Amino acid sequence: MIHVRFEGRSYDFDLAELPLHAGLTDQVIKQRIAQKLDVGIDRLAPYVVDRSPTGHLIVRPEALYG
């Protein structure tokens, strides 16, 4: 599963739907998500890709603290 938090909304996609897997680069993952959301890749530039030990992916805005 891939969970995407994009501009205040949450999306869940099956990895095979895009198709994605945890071994891909962040850039490729963001590119496929941008295509799925029908937005420019540049809008995902400040986002990070987290990979869980179970193989799930989370794409979210970078967290800034303090």
pLDDT value of position 18: 84
Q: What is the pTM of this model?
A: 0.86
The three-state secondary structure class of 43 is helix
pLDDT value of position 19: 85
The three-state secondary structure class of 34 is helix
50 φ, ψ (degrees, to nearest 5): -100, 135
pLDDT value of position 66: 61
Per-residue pLDDT of the chain (66 residues; tens, 9 = 90+): 999 999 999 999 988 888 877 688 999 999 999 999 999 999 999 999 999 888 889 999 988 776
